Amino acid sequence: MAERASWSLGAALRGVFGAKTIDDDTWDDLETALITADFGPDLTEQIVAEIRANVEKYRTTDPKDVQRMLRETLEERLSRLDSTLTLSERPAVVLVVGVNGVGKTTTIGKFARFLRTYDRSVVVGAADTFRAAAVDQLATWAERAGAEIVRPEREGQDPASVAFQTVDKAKRDGTEIVIIDTAGRLQTKGGLMDELGKIRRVVEKLAPVSEVLLVLDATTGQNGLAQAEAFIQHAGVTGLVITKLDGSAKGGFVLSVQEKTGIPIKLIGQGEGIGDLTGFTPHVFAQKLVG
Ligand code: GDP
Protein backbone atom coordinates (compact mmCIF):
# COMPACT_ATOMS: atom_id res chain seq x y z
CA MET A 1 0.00 0.00 0.00
CA ALA A 2 1.71 3.14 -1.19
CA GLU A 3 -0.83 5.66 0.09
CA ARG A 4 -1.28 6.31 3.77
CA ALA A 5 -3.93 4.09 5.36
CA SER A 6 -6.94 5.78 6.98
CA TRP A 7 -6.00 4.17 10.28
CA SER A 8 -2.48 5.54 10.31
CA LEU A 9 -1.59 7.84 13.20
CA GLY A 10 0.64 9.81 10.83
CA ALA A 11 -1.59 12.84 10.34
CA ALA A 12 -2.64 13.06 13.99
CA LEU A 13 0.97 12.86 15.17
CA ARG A 14 2.64 15.00 12.54
CA GLY A 15 2.64 17.92 15.00
CA VAL A 16 4.24 15.79 17.70
CA PHE A 17 6.94 14.11 15.64
CA GLY A 18 7.68 17.23 13.61
CA ALA A 19 8.05 19.54 16.65
CA LYS A 20 11.40 21.03 17.62
CA THR A 21 11.57 19.42 21.02
CA ILE A 22 9.73 17.22 23.48
CA ASP A 23 7.60 19.17 25.97
CA ASP A 24 4.32 18.80 27.89
CA ASP A 25 2.32 19.21 24.66
CA THR A 26 4.04 16.10 23.30
CA TRP A 27 2.36 13.94 25.94
CA ASP A 28 -1.05 15.63 25.66
CA ASP A 29 -1.05 15.31 21.88
CA LEU A 30 0.16 11.72 21.94
CA GLU A 31 -2.54 10.81 24.45
CA THR A 32 -5.26 12.47 22.36
CA ALA A 33 -4.09 10.74 19.19
CA LEU A 34 -4.05 7.31 20.82
CA ILE A 35 -7.49 7.75 22.39
CA THR A 36 -8.91 8.95 19.06
CA ALA A 37 -7.48 5.88 17.34
CA ASP A 38 -9.36 3.63 19.79
CA PHE A 39 -6.47 2.31 21.85
CA GLY A 40 -8.75 2.74 24.88
CA PRO A 41 -7.88 4.73 28.04
CA ASP A 42 -5.91 2.06 29.93
CA LEU A 43 -3.65 1.07 27.08
CA THR A 44 -3.13 4.72 26.10
CA GLU A 45 -2.05 5.55 29.65
CA GLN A 46 0.35 2.61 29.75
CA ILE A 47 1.94 3.44 26.40
CA VAL A 48 2.37 7.15 27.16
CA ALA A 49 3.85 6.39 30.61
CA GLU A 50 6.24 3.85 29.13
CA ILE A 51 7.53 6.21 26.43
CA ARG A 52 7.77 9.09 28.87
CA ALA A 53 9.86 6.98 31.24
CA ASN A 54 12.16 6.00 28.38
CA VAL A 55 12.54 9.60 27.23
CA GLU A 56 13.58 10.54 30.78
CA LYS A 57 15.88 7.56 31.10
CA TYR A 58 17.73 8.30 27.86
CA ARG A 59 17.51 12.09 28.38
CA THR A 60 16.44 12.69 24.79
CA THR A 61 14.67 15.84 23.62
CA ASP A 62 14.19 14.70 20.01
CA PRO A 63 10.53 13.99 19.05
CA LYS A 64 11.77 11.50 16.44
CA ASP A 65 12.79 9.30 19.38
CA VAL A 66 9.17 9.35 20.58
CA GLN A 67 8.09 8.16 17.14
CA ARG A 68 10.64 5.33 17.19
CA MET A 69 9.73 4.30 20.74
CA LEU A 70 6.03 4.28 19.88
CA ARG A 71 6.66 2.11 16.83
CA GLU A 72 8.81 -0.27 18.86
CA THR A 73 6.41 -0.64 21.75
CA LEU A 74 3.46 -1.25 19.40
CA GLU A 75 5.38 -3.86 17.45
CA GLU A 76 6.52 -5.57 20.64
CA ARG A 77 2.99 -5.65 22.06
CA LEU A 78 1.44 -6.82 18.78
CA SER A 79 4.02 -9.62 18.61
CA ARG A 80 3.20 -11.06 22.03
CA LEU A 81 0.67 -13.43 20.48
CA ASP A 82 1.27 -15.71 17.52
CA SER A 83 -0.64 -14.49 14.46
CA THR A 84 0.12 -17.57 12.33
CA LEU A 85 -2.89 -19.46 10.96
CA THR A 86 -2.90 -23.16 11.86
CA LEU A 87 -3.88 -25.00 8.70
CA SER A 88 -1.73 -28.10 8.71
CA GLU A 89 -4.46 -30.73 9.28
CA ARG A 90 -5.93 -32.48 6.21
CA PRO A 91 -8.54 -31.22 5.87
CA ALA A 92 -8.02 -28.10 7.99
CA VAL A 93 -11.43 -26.98 9.22
CA VAL A 94 -11.99 -23.28 9.88
CA LEU A 95 -15.19 -22.06 11.52
CA VAL A 96 -15.97 -18.40 10.91
CA VAL A 97 -18.16 -16.73 13.56
CA GLY A 98 -19.38 -13.22 14.30
CA VAL A 99 -22.35 -10.91 14.51
CA ASN A 100 -24.29 -10.24 11.26
CA GLY A 101 -23.07 -7.25 9.31
CA VAL A 102 -19.43 -7.33 10.41
CA GLY A 103 -18.31 -8.68 7.03
CA LYS A 104 -18.32 -12.42 7.66
CA THR A 105 -19.51 -13.52 4.22
CA THR A 106 -17.18 -11.12 2.44
CA THR A 107 -14.28 -12.27 4.62
CA ILE A 108 -14.93 -15.92 3.75
CA GLY A 109 -14.88 -15.06 0.03
CA LYS A 110 -11.66 -13.12 0.42
CA PHE A 111 -10.11 -15.82 2.61
CA ALA A 112 -10.98 -18.52 0.08
CA ARG A 113 -9.30 -16.46 -2.63
CA PHE A 114 -6.29 -15.77 -0.36
CA LEU A 115 -5.84 -19.52 0.09
CA ARG A 116 -6.39 -20.25 -3.61
CA THR A 117 -3.57 -17.85 -4.50
CA TYR A 118 -1.34 -20.17 -2.43
CA ASP A 119 -2.73 -23.05 -4.48
CA ARG A 120 -4.67 -24.57 -1.61
CA SER A 121 -7.94 -26.30 -2.51
CA VAL A 122 -10.93 -24.90 -0.62
CA VAL A 123 -14.54 -25.87 0.04
CA VAL A 124 -16.94 -23.47 1.76
CA GLY A 125 -19.90 -24.65 3.82
CA ALA A 126 -22.97 -22.39 3.96
CA ALA A 127 -24.10 -23.27 7.47
CA ASP A 128 -25.98 -20.00 8.00
CA THR A 129 -29.04 -21.78 6.66
CA PHE A 130 -31.74 -19.28 7.65
CA ARG A 131 -30.48 -16.43 5.47
CA ALA A 132 -31.14 -17.50 1.88
CA ALA A 133 -29.65 -14.25 0.60
CA ALA A 134 -26.48 -14.92 2.59
CA VAL A 135 -26.17 -18.38 1.04
CA ASP A 136 -26.48 -16.91 -2.46
CA GLN A 137 -23.96 -14.20 -1.62
CA LEU A 138 -21.54 -16.82 -0.31
CA ALA A 139 -22.01 -18.92 -3.46
CA THR A 140 -21.11 -15.91 -5.63
CA TRP A 141 -17.97 -15.29 -3.57
CA ALA A 142 -16.97 -18.96 -3.69
CA GLU A 143 -17.28 -18.99 -7.45
CA ARG A 144 -15.19 -15.84 -7.82
CA ALA A 145 -12.59 -17.27 -5.47
CA GLY A 146 -12.39 -20.58 -7.30
CA ALA A 147 -13.65 -22.56 -4.31
CA GLU A 148 -16.31 -25.23 -4.06
CA ILE A 149 -19.42 -24.71 -1.95
CA VAL A 150 -21.84 -26.95 -0.07
CA ARG A 151 -25.25 -25.29 0.20
CA PRO A 152 -28.18 -26.31 2.40
CA GLU A 153 -30.71 -28.47 0.54
CA ARG A 154 -33.52 -26.32 1.95
CA GLU A 155 -33.79 -23.11 3.94
CA GLY A 156 -33.44 -23.73 7.65
CA GLN A 157 -31.72 -27.11 7.27
CA ASP A 158 -29.81 -28.03 10.44
CA PRO A 159 -26.57 -25.99 10.19
CA ALA A 160 -24.60 -28.85 11.75
CA SER A 161 -25.68 -31.21 8.96
CA VAL A 162 -24.45 -28.75 6.30
CA ALA A 163 -21.13 -28.45 8.17
CA PHE A 164 -20.89 -32.25 8.35
CA GLN A 165 -21.61 -32.63 4.63
CA THR A 166 -18.95 -30.03 3.81
CA VAL A 167 -16.21 -31.76 5.80
CA ASP A 168 -17.34 -35.12 4.47
CA LYS A 169 -17.05 -33.83 0.89
CA ALA A 170 -13.60 -32.40 1.62
CA LYS A 171 -12.43 -35.78 2.90
CA ARG A 172 -13.82 -37.62 -0.11
CA ASP A 173 -12.40 -35.10 -2.60
CA GLY A 174 -9.08 -34.61 -0.81
CA THR A 175 -9.78 -30.87 -0.42
CA GLU A 176 -7.25 -29.19 1.83
CA ILE A 177 -9.23 -26.48 3.58
CA VAL A 178 -12.84 -26.25 4.75
CA ILE A 179 -14.30 -22.87 5.67
CA ILE A 180 -17.66 -22.97 7.44
CA ASP A 181 -19.90 -19.89 7.53
CA THR A 182 -22.11 -19.71 10.61
CA ALA A 183 -25.10 -17.67 11.75
CA GLY A 184 -24.70 -14.34 13.55
CA ARG A 185 -28.16 -13.55 14.87
CA LEU A 186 -27.54 -11.71 18.10
CA GLN A 187 -31.17 -11.91 19.25
CA THR A 188 -30.84 -15.60 20.01
CA LYS A 189 -27.49 -15.65 21.76
CA GLY A 190 -28.10 -18.81 23.80
CA GLY A 191 -29.49 -20.70 20.82
CA LEU A 192 -26.68 -19.46 18.63
CA MET A 193 -23.98 -20.69 21.01
CA ASP A 194 -25.72 -24.08 21.25
CA GLU A 195 -25.83 -24.19 17.45
CA LEU A 196 -22.09 -23.45 17.21
CA GLY A 197 -21.39 -26.10 19.84
CA LYS A 198 -23.37 -28.63 17.85
CA ILE A 199 -21.60 -27.72 14.58
CA ARG A 200 -18.30 -28.26 16.33
CA ARG A 201 -19.25 -31.62 17.85
CA VAL A 202 -20.59 -32.91 14.56
CA VAL A 203 -17.58 -31.70 12.54
CA GLU A 204 -15.20 -33.26 15.05
CA LYS A 205 -16.61 -36.68 14.27
CA LEU A 206 -14.79 -36.28 10.95
CA ALA A 207 -11.88 -33.90 11.52
CA PRO A 208 -10.49 -31.61 14.22
CA VAL A 209 -11.39 -27.92 14.07
CA SER A 210 -8.13 -26.08 13.27
CA GLU A 211 -9.28 -22.49 13.69
CA VAL A 212 -12.33 -20.62 14.97
CA LEU A 213 -12.06 -17.12 13.53
CA LEU A 214 -14.13 -14.31 15.05
CA VAL A 215 -14.80 -11.45 12.63
CA LEU A 216 -14.91 -7.95 14.15
CA ASP A 217 -15.72 -4.66 12.41
CA ALA A 218 -13.09 -2.00 13.15
CA THR A 219 -15.54 0.84 12.56
CA THR A 220 -17.64 -0.28 15.53
CA GLY A 221 -14.55 -0.66 17.69
CA GLN A 222 -15.10 -1.31 21.40
CA ASN A 223 -18.91 -1.57 20.97
CA GLY A 224 -18.49 -4.32 18.43
CA LEU A 225 -16.23 -6.12 20.83
CA ALA A 226 -18.87 -5.96 23.57
CA GLN A 227 -21.44 -7.40 21.13
CA ALA A 228 -19.13 -10.29 20.32
CA GLU A 229 -18.51 -11.18 23.96
CA ALA A 230 -20.66 -14.33 23.82
CA PHE A 231 -18.50 -15.73 21.01
CA ILE A 232 -15.35 -15.03 23.00
CA GLN A 233 -16.82 -16.70 26.09
CA HIS A 234 -18.34 -19.75 24.43
CA ALA A 235 -17.12 -20.37 20.88
CA GLY A 236 -13.47 -21.35 21.51
CA VAL A 237 -12.17 -18.53 19.30
CA THR A 238 -8.55 -19.07 18.18
CA GLY A 239 -8.06 -15.95 16.06
CA LEU A 240 -9.54 -12.57 15.21
CA VAL A 241 -10.22 -11.06 11.80
CA ILE A 242 -10.52 -7.26 11.81
CA THR A 243 -12.57 -5.97 8.86
CA LYS A 244 -13.28 -2.52 7.43
CA LEU A 245 -9.97 -1.04 8.54
CA ASP A 246 -9.93 0.84 5.23
CA GLY A 247 -12.82 3.08 6.24
CA SER A 248 -11.71 3.44 9.81
CA ALA A 249 -9.55 5.81 11.82
CA LYS A 250 -9.39 3.20 14.55
CA GLY A 251 -6.04 1.52 13.99
CA GLY A 252 -5.51 1.25 17.75
CA PHE A 253 -8.47 -1.13 17.98
CA VAL A 254 -6.22 -3.83 16.55
CA LEU A 255 -3.90 -3.73 19.55
CA SER A 256 -6.52 -2.99 22.21
CA VAL A 257 -8.73 -5.88 21.08
CA GLN A 258 -5.80 -8.30 21.09
CA GLU A 259 -4.72 -7.21 24.60
CA LYS A 260 -8.29 -7.28 25.96
CA THR A 261 -9.22 -10.69 24.61
CA GLY A 262 -5.83 -12.41 24.70
CA ILE A 263 -6.68 -13.77 21.23
CA PRO A 264 -4.29 -13.09 18.32
CA ILE A 265 -5.25 -11.11 15.24
CA LYS A 266 -4.82 -13.45 12.25
CA LEU A 267 -6.24 -11.56 9.27
CA ILE A 268 -7.15 -8.00 8.40
CA GLY A 269 -9.67 -6.82 5.82
CA GLN A 270 -9.17 -3.51 4.13
CA GLY A 271 -11.80 -3.22 1.44
CA GLU A 272 -14.72 -4.85 -0.32
CA GLY A 273 -12.68 -6.36 -3.14
CA ILE A 274 -11.71 -10.02 -3.30
CA GLY A 275 -8.02 -9.23 -2.86
CA ASP A 276 -8.51 -6.97 0.18
CA LEU A 277 -7.56 -9.44 2.91
CA THR A 278 -4.07 -9.96 4.27
CA GLY A 279 -2.34 -11.92 6.96
CA PHE A 280 -1.34 -9.97 10.05
CA THR A 281 2.32 -8.97 10.40
CA PRO A 282 3.03 -6.92 13.56
CA HIS A 283 6.16 -5.30 12.13
CA VAL A 284 4.39 -4.07 8.99
CA PHE A 285 1.30 -2.99 10.90
CA ALA A 286 3.28 -0.98 13.50
CA GLN A 287 5.28 0.65 10.74
CA LYS A 288 2.15 1.75 8.89
CA LEU A 289 0.37 2.82 12.07
CA VAL A 290 3.15 5.09 13.33
CA GLY A 291 4.94 5.97 10.09
P1 GDP B 1 -22.05 -10.42 7.18
O2 GDP B 1 -23.47 -10.09 7.48
O3 GDP B 1 -21.21 -10.41 8.42
O4 GDP B 1 -21.87 -11.67 6.38
O5 GDP B 1 -21.47 -9.19 6.34
P6 GDP B 1 -21.16 -9.02 4.78
O7 GDP B 1 -20.01 -9.87 4.39
O8 GDP B 1 -22.42 -9.17 4.00
O9 GDP B 1 -20.64 -7.51 4.75
C10 GDP B 1 -21.43 -6.43 5.17
C11 GDP B 1 -20.99 -5.17 4.42
O12 GDP B 1 -19.64 -4.83 4.80
C13 GDP B 1 -20.93 -5.37 2.91
O14 GDP B 1 -21.41 -4.19 2.30
C15 GDP B 1 -19.45 -5.57 2.61
O16 GDP B 1 -19.11 -5.15 1.31
C17 GDP B 1 -18.82 -4.69 3.65
N18 GDP B 1 -17.43 -5.10 4.00
C19 GDP B 1 -17.00 -6.31 4.41
N20 GDP B 1 -15.67 -6.28 4.66
C21 GDP B 1 -15.24 -5.02 4.38
C22 GDP B 1 -13.96 -4.35 4.45
O23 GDP B 1 -12.91 -4.89 4.82
N24 GDP B 1 -13.96 -3.02 4.07
C25 GDP B 1 -15.09 -2.37 3.68
N26 GDP B 1 -14.97 -1.08 3.36
N27 GDP B 1 -16.29 -2.96 3.63
C28 GDP B 1 -16.37 -4.27 3.96
Query: Does 129 lie in the same domain as 24?
Result: no
The DSSP H or E segment spanning 20 is: none
Domain-located, residue 230: yes
Mean pLDDT by 10-residue block, N- to C-terminus, for the chain (291 residues)?
Answer: 72 88 94 94 97 96 96 97 96 97 96 97 95 93 98 93 98 98 83 94 98 96 90 95 92 94 97 96 94 85
Domain-located, residue 202: yes
φ/ψ of residue 62, rounded to 5: -95, 115
Domain-located, residue 239: yes
C-alpha to C-alpha distance for 263 and 275, rounded to whole angstroms: 25
Q: List Cβ<8 Å contacts ≥24 apart for 60-63.
A: 60/22, 61/21, 61/22, 62/21, 62/22, 63/16, 63/17, 63/18, 63/19, 63/20, 63/21, 63/22, 63/26
227 lines ligand 1 (CB under 6 A): no
* pTM of the model as a whole: 0.95
Query: Does 256 lie in the same domain as 165?
Result: yes
pLDDT score, position 163: 98
Query: Does 45 lie in the same domain as 115?
Result: no
Please give the number of the atom of ligand 1 that sits closest to the Cα of 102: 3
239 annotated as ligand-binding: no
Look up the domain containing 98 and give its range.
92-290
Q: How far is the CA of 98 from the centre of ligand 1 (A)?
A: 12
Please give the number of the atom of ligand 1 that sits closest to the Cα of 269: 23
pLDDT score, position 31: 96
Comparing CA positions, the residue from 195, 254, 246, 200 lying closest to residue 224 is: 254
pLDDT score, position 1: 43
183 annotated as ligand-binding: yes
Of 78, 103, 128, which one is at a domain's C-terminal end?
78
Of 50, 78, 106, which one is at a domain's C-terminal end?
78
Query: Does 170 lie in the same domain as 27?
Result: no
pLDDT score, position 24: 92
131 lines ligand 1 (CB under 6 A): no
102 annotated as ligand-binding: yes
pLDDT score, position 243: 97
The ipTM value here is 0.99
